[in-house]
Amino acid sequence: MKIVLDLRKSIEENAEEYFNKAKKARKKLAGAKKAIEITTEKLIRAQKEKTEEKEITIKKIRKKEWYEKFRWFVSSEGLLVIGGRDATTNEIVIKKHADKNDVVFHTDMAGSPFVVIKSDEKKISQSTMQEASDFTACYSRAWREGLTTLDVFYVKPEQVSKEAKAGEYMTKGSFMITGKTNYLPPKMNLAVGVYEEKIMAGPVSAIKKHCKECVEIMQGDKKTSDVAKKIKKKIGGDLDEVIRVLPAGGCDVK
């Protein structure tokens, strides 16, 4: 260590000057240590908050079931019912998911979904048949046009074909129905609830059976996003998922 003395000052004065310098240095060192401690605490807190945010985001991500790409609900007796959202998914519903013992629903009105009750090798009850009929009507063009009812029929999967008559062409999402059709008058009733962490929309009877809380909706001209916000406030869930299950053409909370 090198010490520089001022020869114009006495030994005592030089000593006092170094003592004062040392005193100031200690204060600066203490301040620097304090600043380091504060900065370290802030960094630790920021890192912790960032980690917590990541954990929250991870919890929100869930694996979606195969049927969530379609319209769907679980009937009062526990059977899965799926329907097309558009021409492409109508094709998929019929070609890939309509099995021998299932039942297919459709309407006489263009712009309606093909709906399939997945029997799961079980006997399909009349209550599920009625719920599927209601579901088909609610997601048909009749909803957005304000109609209170329309003709909904059901057939066996083997009666639904892509083979058109001579000189005719079947567009995407369209099918030829052969044989006898059975009609089941629908009711325009729809509700939204949370089923096993998923937003589910379907006939009121089915939603009330499986969901602790639900919101009934009706035909209307309110914006889908505004109605979805009201529903989310009541039952929770993801807003985009709520919007996705609502019928096209506007609606309102009942």
Per-residue pLDDT of the chain (254 residues; tens, 9 = 90+): 566 666 676 777 766 776 677 777 677 767 767 777 887 888 888 787 776 665 555 556 778 999 999 999 999 999 999 999 999 999 999 999 999 999 999 999 988 999 999 999 999 999 999 999 999 999 999 999 999 889 999 999 999 998 877 677 777 888 989 999 999 999 999 999 999 999 999 999 999 999 999 999 999 999 999 999 999 999 999 999 999 999 998 899 99
214 and 162 assigned to the same domain:
no
> What pLDDT sits at residue 141?
94
Which of 188, 206, 236 represents a domain boundary (last residue)? Answer: 188
pTM for this model (two decimals)? 0.75
Is residue 175 within 8 Å of 114, Cβ to Cβ? yes
> What pLDDT sits at residue 26?
74
CA distance 70 to 85: 6
> What pLDDT sits at residue 52?
63
144 and 236 assigned to the same domain:
no
Expressed as residue numbers, the domain containing 34 is: 14-56
107 and 27 assigned to the same domain:
no
Number of domains in the chain: 3
184 and 70 assigned to the same domain:
yes
Q: Is 89 a domain residue?
A: yes
> What pLDDT sits at residue 129?
98
218 and 116 assigned to the same domain:
no
> What pLDDT sits at residue 201?
98
CA distance 94 to 83: 9
71 and 140 assigned to the same domain:
yes
Q: Is 6 a domain residue?
A: no
183 and 194 assigned to the same domain:
no
Bridge pairing between strands 198-202 and 251-253:
unpaired
79 and 150 assigned to the same domain:
yes
Q: Is 2 a domain residue?
A: no
Residue 239 CB-density burial (10 A; 0-12 exposed, 13-18 middle, 19+ buried): middle
Is residue 117 within 8 Å of 129, Cβ to Cβ? yes
194 and 180 assigned to the same domain:
no
Q: Is 9 a domain residue?
A: no
3-state helix, strand and coil shares in percent for the chain, rounded to the nearest 5: 45, 20, 35
Q: Is 1 a domain residue?
A: no
235 and 121 assigned to the same domain:
no
Reported for 235-241, long-range contacts at CB under 8 A and 24+ positions apart, including other chains, are 235/192, 235/193, 235/194, 235/199, 235/211, 236/194, 237/194, 237/199, 238/60, 238/199, 241/198, 241/199
Rg (C-alpha) for the chain, rounded Å, is 34
